[in-house]
Structure 1
């Protein structure tokens, strides 16, 4: 999703271009007539003055009509949203939300290192170093940005509230240096990392600091956001940042954003030379390179404090002093060298060199298709590192700093695995967790599966998270028994080359409980006696309504995918940078954008025109609670006209529109993911911690509370739809939206996202789970980005969280948001296989699917005609562009009818309709427009009447003068 930006401005101007031209034309005509009708061409003064007056009255009428057409036409929805009544949060809800934010951050903060038991640290004096300590990261940018309408707890506030006194002299030193960081916006960024050069720390400043306390904290911060991925090369053209000194470059050649800058290195050198007890706090969402820690034994403890929202920093001081025992676990793998990850050479956008025929001109210049290859296949994150270690490709300890699922505590736990049973398609066992230390705390039970692998067979990782649970807080010596249960088809793999279905191969499956993805606690063997292929109607995978078989063959492309065969023998070939930048001819033949898509070419001559405009007397409220397939839906849909269907399909930006004839009121849908943010009224909710913090908590109960709290705030703000949660994958540590996406693991993501969606749904709020699908990068996301991946990876990694969210809702009304990118060579929001075959037919999704932000002329490939035929229902558009349906054929109207059904089914089952028909008063601005038009109409008519009267008076006077002269 986008905030209001230049694309919005351009789209608005384009949508009112005809009206602006009309005003200009009549203005010019009035000027021309005024100039032309002068004493030299019309001697009669009365006629000349009448012509002058009438021309300007006509110009005025044209202006009034044009402005009215703009206001009631292309600008209507925007003005309605901007002038809507503002509904603020209650003090009670603000307080409750802030408390939840702190609870999430308490469990999201992850203790990565604690040598010599440095932490917890008794409250007292502490020196806090690092410019980020005075300007920390609270959330991401873009649609995930937080509101400035509410109080924010700073990092230093959190320490002070926990009883620490921080060095004011250091704080002043940093705030005097700079008070703001570089701006990271949707379309541009300043990646400057303000950090005073070590040479600017005076001897007295350091001396005073040593006198103040013998303990130091260093804060390192990294920001990310929508629209731009984090730079993989800080010296690449287009990357903007300022060095902190003219004596050196902060980022020498070959360095990236997720490693220390030179100023940060120098600052750490300075601090560690003067302090032996140092805590490092990393305040960021993206996995950072911590290989430098081996060089600094003085840095004894390391805390990862992900984006805490507006109140979450309260938890940092509590974790530091031991009031809260950290229980966070990493949601991603932290490696020592990010340049050696399998996707390093294939992250970003690569320009095709032979696609001139697909170039489109937009307000942002010429756009042409690009591509990205998901070469690593299923070996994403820890799945690669654990398998590569087992296959001998890597030495694990040389490569991985902190495994996935890793986190330390101030106490110790013992986990005992009970007997594992496998019966009736379910694997189940108990895990008894005991606090064996002397401090209360929570633990996480992580269950993994290592399936049998045949060399050259179906690709399988040696470690696959299959289930997880978090304990309650356990007192010293206290135990809790956690039940782990999962279906055997959760251990299946997708065979896209042979069976073209999910397959649970016969053999021994090692089921384990682990401290993290790498360290096993205990395990047992589950034996599957015979191979099960999920390829029949009475034997589908994971409860699919129809058999899951290959849908994405065309998205595989001509790509060599990483394979475990022969100990990853093809690693170098598969992970190399692309060498062929040409789009194949067969791909070209079915590539569409706004330059070559013609809906009439895809009309079906056998389609029969549906009924429209019938008088069946139904209102939308009559369908609340009715089944999706209830016959009454057909009667209601028969009532809709083409224009009514087009209105609700086309105008889906931050709302779904009203349809007066059936009592459908306008509903408000607003941005997320960590808050509710109305970009038009300016009203926003409290910002909760980003999803990366929730992911590090591994706590499903907190996720449920998160969704419920969003729902509660939505009620107070009169909001029905929430543009969240965002559940794409952390394919790369450099993903710009990793703060709002959960994890590199689809199972961890799914478990938490399900609870968020169900929590919101419990309050009658439909969550737009997004971005569907394969939207793992921001670079050229709306630049006709062809994303190539194989079906196994698509299903097992990238679609898995979406699948779980849909199935957990059990067919109840839902919403989902598409992605900007292409899946293979087809725009995601027009991909029939994705949006119909998989989403609706296999998973049973019922509800509305919306595009991501719609700016067809600016992006060059979005059109409502193609989207509705691709089983997308509603356009996230705020201005009239290519978001209206142009084809009036039976094929098109059938697609419109289906889309309207999905939108209305979702809308009527939202909380706004739970007490009957909502009020639908005419917006105040429309009433004002009508009044203004009437007043101006009367005024202009009066002016013309006055002009005519004066004309007649002058003519009469002239006639009398002539008569008298005779």
Structure 2
């Protein structure tokens, strides 16, 4: 035990010092001095052991960093010069992707995208606190403290980032809007900035993955009393930033979402010297903000998230009062970010008898507000100690009055009309939210105390102006999935329909009675019968029960790290279909792809066309799908260009110019469906101008905990809000003729171990009601033509080889008629398993030759089965291509 504690201390210090030569030098000198100075043999022995562990750990960390950088350099060199040039340049498209925005069409699309980006940033900013009319500034001068305002976070790392080359800094934005600030103070902090926020896509991802979040505030000892005195003479108003960045490939630590000691010291220094302090929250993850309540001088708090290149301009407009904030939070802000049950099973868990990591989704359906609002439904006092800001919360510079003018309830639809009147002195927009509370039967189906049913945002209302808005949802949306009956069940009883300002504060509640329990056995859109698809993903796990919070609350203390025999026996095992007839390939070419345009999917001519392929052509087509599909001239098949990412087109292999948008968490925070559509439309127009055929977006995985490294890239903790915003973006882009890849399907909710194929154990009710729901809504509302499968294993099956997920649910139950691509291919993602399970295309940058080799091996073992899978996949892809062309 003592040895473990010594090692723990050394490892903590080593991780802190790795990558920083000065810190490493200081720590080494400190250890040596303490060893030399110690007269106690036991202490000296302990210090020597700790120093030994320290050197070992810091060297390991540095070696890891070095090899990671070597790997990155190797990839870059391989792109430019390596022996993999043929397949690699095809996959990346680096040889001929231009994405030229200099044309008149490109410039018009870029200008439109920039305009939409600014509008989203303006409406996505959330006013969280505003005592004594602290904001707007009313021409008051401000002191801006800290390093963070000089390195404002505009986006995140990885594919969710975008071109930030035209970003406007915070201080340039203040100048542009005529806000006076203490330039001497700004100059002092600017001179102390050592590193900026990269916002550089792949570089930010690699940096965060290797080093973690390294930015911190300046020590107070470096801020002289004279600087403080001069600032106090300049103005009694001060402003500080609290920031944090996230990135693909790396999750956040608890410490990164807490206020560091340097930041605490800065808050203390500013709050104790100024009467009116504004705090800006510049982060894509929820932070712990309870400390801010300890300072009465902190009058206002503004959340900007990661707001895109024009986010600082939008913030300046709100500080100035040119724009009235109308955003609402899309996550619960808890005083302790670990207070949600999902945090008990989030992070690094590995099997000791299988080269896989795993996560137990023991919290079931109780994610985000579904937990807080249910657990503390009858305990307001405790709720207020746990939750600081509820889901859907946000303030305004004006006052709104609501009146429910009509409610129409029947067996099919819930509909409420609300009259919203601006009773204040300035124009503004308001958000009306509609929730339902379903009756819970003790010991019955798990149910959240309340669930978001619909929402809407008003138009800009001038003082004394009114607008009537309508909110509605289907009665069957209030049903819960019952695995024992393989149906959605609407229990008999009394339902509360709540018109609310946020999830916790009700304006008016209306009763709705269901006299007899209703069982929905089939999908309302397709009439396909529901059936359990994830029974093998449940595992031997106790899930959280509403009837026994304490007894079933998740814990990772006693979980087994031994993979069960059922997993060892079934992981990646395919049920091969025997007795299939082997098609005779390489038939004479009598049909070109264009000849099939407009034909039904099942038209016999498709079989004729697919039999014209050679086996190599089929294999090459499905394995070479990264950023650019292959063309086959003799069959009339053209290449298609497919690009990332959710916050604007993203490409890590070449610089280009494209519009950049606020990240999806900010898009969702607008609660504005029309703006989401306009984002998709703007991206679609750009795609047409740049020659892009497909867009890897939107991303709609769930903020399962505040620690998710890509939470900035996803919309919300709530599946309905996520699904509606995704559906609108999808409609906007596809209306321009662009193929949209909804992603990551499904359950890509953490980054740790994701790229090694993490095994997820989850209950089917939670899978359907939480993690699949955004995708289901998007398919239902906007009919996307493509999807991207995730890295995750749902039980024993990788998402890209899960026929229950991709065929039985996505295609049959929901009626999806497009094609599915994998996410970026890693070693566990095999084309031979994918193409026979509903995953049609491999986003494979480095290893298409390996996937083709796997297909050849599988073909030798079962040729008819593999050819059928290949033809089905190519059929799905080309059916979409030929029938969904740009205008």
Does residue 1:484 correspond to 2:474, yes or no? no
Aligned to 2:504: 518
Kept in 2: contact 1:502–1:541 (CA 8 A): no
Could you tell me which residue of structure 1 aligns to residue 249 of structure 2?
Answer: 227
- d(CA) in 2 for partners of 1:395 and 1:542? 40
**How many angstroms apart in 1 are the aligned matches of 2:360 and 2:600?**
41
Q: Which residue of 1 aligns with 2:170?
A: 155
Q: Tell me what 1:263 maps to.
A: 262
Match of 1:245 in 2: none
How far apart, in 1, do the equivalents of 2:628 and 2:723 lie? Answer: 27
How far apart are 1:391 and its partner, in Å?
Answer: 4.8
1:882 aligned partner? 850
Query: Which residue is 1:296 aligned to?
Result: 295
In structure 1, how many angstroms separate the alpha carbons of the residues matched to 2:334 and 2:755? 30
Conserved? CA contact 1:511–1:524, under 8 Å: yes
Q: Which residue of 2 aligns with 1:570?
A: 551
Query: Residue by residue, what CA displacement relative to the aligned partner does 1:376-421 show, whole Å, maximum 9, x if unpaired?
Result: 1111111111111125498110000000000000111122223432
**Any idea what SS the aligned residue of 2:257 has?**
coil
Counterpart of 1:381 in structure 2 is 368
Q: 1:134 is paired with a residue of what secondary structure?
A: helix
Equivalent position of 2:559 in the other structure: 579
Secondary structure of the corresponding residue to residue 618 of structure 2 = helix
Counterparts of 1:135-146 in structure 2, within 5 Å, are 135-146=151-162
Check the 8 A contact 2:523/2:813 in 1, yes or no. Answer: no
How many Å apart are 1:144 and its aligned residue?
Answer: 1.7
| Structure 1 residue 146 displacement after superposition | 2.5
Contact kept, 8 Å, 1:182 with 1:192, in 2: the verdict is no
> Does 1:715 find its partner at 2:688?
yes
Rounded Cα–Cα distance in structure 2 between residues aligned with 1:12 and 1:663:
33
Do structure 1's residue 799 and structure 2's residue 783 form an aligned pair? Answer: no
Flag the 1:349–1:301 CA change in 2: closer, same or farther, 3 A.
Answer: same
CA distance in 1, matches of 2:412, 2:321: 44
Report the alpha carbon displacement of residue 709 of structure 1 after superposing the two structures with TM: 0.5
Which residue does 2:536 correspond to in 1? 554
Please say if residues 178 and 194 of structure 1, whose CA atoms lie closer than 8 Å, have aligned partners that are also in contact. Answer: no
> Which stretch of the first structure deviates more once superposed, 76-85 or 263-272?
76-85
How far is 1:578 from its partner? 4.3
Cα distance in 2 for partners of 1:182, 1:678 equals: 19
Q: Equivalences for 1:346-425 in 2 at 5 Å?
A: 346-355=345-354, 368-392=355-379, 395-425=382-412
Whether the 8 Å contact between 1:182 and 1:190 is mirrored in structure 2 is no
Q: TM-score, normalised by structure 1?
A: 0.80
Find the counterpart in structure 2 of residue 864 from structure 1: 831
Correspondence 1:162-181 to 2 at 5 A: 162-181=177-196
Which of residues 726, 746, 749 is equivalent to 2:699? Answer: 726
Q: Distance in 2 between matches of 1:564 and 1:840?
A: 33
Q: How far apart are the structure 1 equivalents of 2:79 and 2:395? A: 56
What's the counterpart of residue 931 of structure 1? none
Report Cα offsets for 1:289-310 as digits up to 9, x if no partner.
1101221110000000111111
Per the alignment, residue 815 of structure 2 pairs with 844
> 2 CA distance for matches of 1:103 and 1:511?
32
Give the alignment of 1:792-941 within 5 angstroms: 792-810=765-783, 814-856=785-827, 861-879=828-846, 880-884=848-852, 885-886=855-856, 887-888=858-859, 889-912=863-886, 914=887
Describe the SS at the equivalent of 2:867. Answer: helix
1:761-776 matches, within 5 Å, as 761-776=734-749
- Following superposition, the deviation at residue 429 of structure 1 comes to 2.1
How far off is 1:893 after superposition? 0.3
Give 1:48's aligned residue. Answer: none
Please say if 1:782 is aligned against 2:755: yes
How far apart, CA to CA, are the structure 2 residues paired with 1:11 and 1:843? 39
- CA shift digits 1:633-668 (9 cap, x unpaired): 223222222111111100001112112122111111
Between the aligned partners of 1:77 and 1:724, the Cα distance in structure 2 is 21
| SS, match of residue 344 in structure 2 | helix
- Tell me: CA distance 1:610–1:283, structure 2 relative to 1, closer, same or farther (3 Å): same
Q: Distance in 2 between matches of 1:649 and 1:440?
A: 54
Are 2:459 and 1:472 equivalent residues in the alignment? yes
Cα displacement (A) at 1:193: 2.2
SS state at 1:376 partner: coil
Matched residue SS, 1:415: strand
Take 1:464 and 1:81, find their aligned partners in 2: how far apart are those partners?
46
Instruction: Assess if the C-alpha contact under 8 Å between 1:508 and 1:526 holds in 2.
Output: yes
| CA distance in 2 between partners of 1:123 and 1:621 (Å) | 63
Separation in 2 of the partners of 1:713 and 1:478?
37
- Are positions 1:342 and 2:308 aligned together? no
Aligned twin of 1:458: 445
SS in 2 for 1:656: coil
Q: Which runs of 5+ in 2 are unaligned?
A: 1-67, 199-203
Q: Does 1:503 align with 2:489?
A: yes
- Alpha-carbon contact 1:721-1:767 (below 8 Å) kept: yes
CA distance in 1, matches of 2:370, 2:563: 31
Deviation at 1:107, TM superposition (A): 0.7
Structure 1 unaligned segments of length 5 or more: list them. 21-66, 233-255, 356-367, 915-966
Pairing of 1:313-352 with structure 2 (within 5 A): 313-352=312-351
Secondary structure of the structure 2 residue equivalent to 1:565: coil
Matched, 1:82 2:95: yes
Q: Counterparts of 1:429 and 1:453 in 2: how far apart (Å)?
A: 23
Identify the residue that residue 205 of structure 2 maps to in structure 1. Answer: 185
Q: Paired residue for 1:58?
A: none
In the TM superposition, residue 202 of structure 1 has moved relative to its aligned partner by: 1.2
> 1:947: which partner in 2?
none
- Mapped contact 1:198–1:270 kept (Cα < 8 A): yes
Q: CA deviation at 1:147?
A: 2.1
Matched-pair contact (CA < 8 Å) for 1:417–1:523:
no
For 2:447 and 2:92, the matched residues in 1 are separated by 53
SS of the residue 2:473 aligns to: strand
**1:347: how far off?**
0.7
Q: Secondary structure at the match of 2:489?
A: strand
Which has the higher mean CA deviation after the structures are superposed, 386-395 or 115-124? 386-395
Change (3 A) 1:587 1:411: same
Instruction: Provide the C-alpha distance between the structure 2 equivalents of 1:640 and 1:808, rounded to a whole number of angstroms.
Output: 35
Q: In the TM superposition, what is the alpha-carbon distance from 1:145 to its structure 2 partner? A: 2.2
Say if 1:141 and 1:185, in contact at 8 Å, map to a contact too: yes
The alignment partner of 1:384 has SS state of: helix
Over the aligned positions, Cα root-mean-square deviation in angstroms equals: 2.2
Helix, strand or coil: the match of 1:674? coil
Which of 207, 224, 228 aligns to 1:202? It is: 224
Structure 1: distance between partners of 2:74 and 2:570: 29
Residue 602 of structure 2 corresponds to 629
User: Which range moves more in the overlay, 260-269 or 153-162?
Assistant: 153-162
Shift in alpha-carbon separation, 1:296–1:79, aligned structure 2, 3 A: closer
In the alignment, which residue of structure 2 is the partner of 1:121?
A: 137
* Distance in 1 between residues matched to 2:349 and 2:839, nearest whole Å: 27
Match among 559, 564, 568 for residue 588 of structure 1: 568
Which residue does 1:44 correspond to in 2?
Answer: none
Distance, in Å, in 2 between the alignment partners of 1:561 and 1:6 is 43
Q: Deviations over 1:905-946 (max 9, x none)?
A: 22223445x4xxxxxxxxxxxxxxxxxxxxxxxxxxxxxxxx
TM-score (norm 2): 0.87
